Amino acid sequence: MRVTEGKVEFEVPDARDGASEGRGDDVFYNPTQELNRDVTVAVLRAYADREPRAESYLDATTASGVRALRAASEGWAVTAADTDPDAVSLARENFDRADLPGEVVERNANALMHESTFDVIDVDPFGTPVPFADAAFVGARDLVAVTATDTAPLCGAHFESGVRSYGAVPRNTDYHPEMGLRVLLSAMVRTAARYDIAARPVCSHVSRHYARTYLELDGRATKADDCIDELGYVHHCEDCLTREHEFGLIAHPPDDCPACGGNRVVTAGPLWLGAIRDREFVAAVRDAVDDGMGEAARARRMLDTVAAELDEPTHYDQHRLCKQWGRSANAMDEFLSDLRAAGYEASRAHYGGTTFKTDADVAAIRSATAE
């Protein structure tokens, strides 16, 4: 089956059951990840302007090679790796067919990343990226891009698996997409810090069934310390939905909810509590999206929202709050306008159509938006 994405045309095996989820013995291409790849191309364009000396790119788990092909079409010196000989053969055929330069190797990505250095390393496995994280931060000079598709462990729906994989306590809250992203960021930041490397997210998003982040690296231990200082915990009341956060690697959970007095307060962490992106860089990424991308409109909308989001470490869902309060939800723009009129900051969040961020607590949100 011949497929076109962006500037490249390539071959993939005929789709089988489960292909849209990236599963199956002969599935090498996941069409639902086109947004992910479109944004990746835009990030590479923006990062080439941000760091002109960056030129080499490793696609650590290449499968059909589509991500590597698209990077090569942008002028990056590409290496694509996979342990599956059939995937390597297919990726090589696609590079030859597209007449693009690039090296496709049948190698264990961790071994390759320990032996060689690349300006940008992209880790996009099926499931958790944790097994590749140490080697990626050792082998990258400038930027590490990471996708996690194991959203249930990240978000706390599969609690024990999340604890094992990410070394953090996740919680399945009403802001579970952001919970997952911040658990992922925490794990990546802590992994990089072990090597005295600061890994700071310059662009991140959650879309469909995955979390994606791009981490810019700094080899100064003091900068790694600064990143560790942005880790902490969220204390969430399951009764009234109030949440508080604290910085630091030692949690001090309250015995009872400070808002409603209930005793169903759960603690999540350590989480990344800092900004999930660099506003100026995300704006540059948005400008780098072109109309030839299949998900251009969606990418632009998402990136606009990501750039404008407040830096609060959790978001709210308007419909969840209104259900809690026993009232109908009004239009989101009106809802946010009421919050701003009451003196609070408020912005939409990219995690869903009814999600938003604000510096108001739950009681203040309820009061400010009362009919």
For 93-113, the pLDDT digits (tens) are: 999 999 999 999 999 999 999
Which of the four pLDDT bands, split at 50, 70 and 90, describes residue 32? confident
Which of the four pLDDT bands, split at 50, 70 and 90, describes residue 26? low
What's the total number of domains in the chain? 2
> What is the mean pLDDT of the segment spanning 319-347?
97
Distance between CA atoms of 200 and 214, rounded to whole angstroms?
Answer: 8
Choice between 251 and 11, residue whose per-residue pLDDT is larger? 251
* 218 and 302 within one domain: yes
- The tokens for 271 are 């989480």
> What is the mean pLDDT of the segment spanning 207-234?
97
Choice between 6 and 123, residue whose per-residue pLDDT is larger? 123
pLDDT of residue 290: 97
CATH number at residue 336: 3.30.56.70
* 284 and 329 within one domain: no
Q: Could you give the C-alpha distances from 262 to 32, 116, 170, 259, 265, in angstroms and in order?
A: 42, 54, 21, 8, 7
pLDDT of residue 39: 98
Nearest CA-CA partner of 270 in 123, 360, 355, 171? 171
* 33 and 123 within one domain: yes
Range(s) of the domain holding residue 103: 2-308
Tell me what the pLDDT averaged over the chain comes to. Answer: 94
* 114 and 95 within one domain: yes
- The tokens for 332 are 């989101």
> What is the mean pLDDT of the segment spanning 72-92?
96
Which of the four pLDDT bands, split at 50, 70 and 90, describes residue 29? confident
* 210 and 161 within one domain: yes
> What is the mean pLDDT of the segment spanning 337-363?
97
Which of the four pLDDT bands, split at 50, 70 and 90, describes residue 10? confident
pLDDT of residue 8: 86
- Of 308, 327, 346, which closes a domain? 308
Which of the four pLDDT bands, split at 50, 70 and 90, describes residue 24? very low
Least confident of 10-14, 194-198, 234-238, 274-278: 10-14
Nearest CA-CA partner of 335 in 371, 290, 293? 371
pLDDT at 16 over 80: no
- Of 259, 275, 308, which closes a domain? 308
* 37 and 117 within one domain: yes
Model confidence, pTM: 0.95
Nearest CA-CA partner of 94 in 69, 57, 70, 71? 69
* 333 and 207 within one domain: no
* 171 and 294 within one domain: yes
CATH number at residue 149: 3.40.50.150
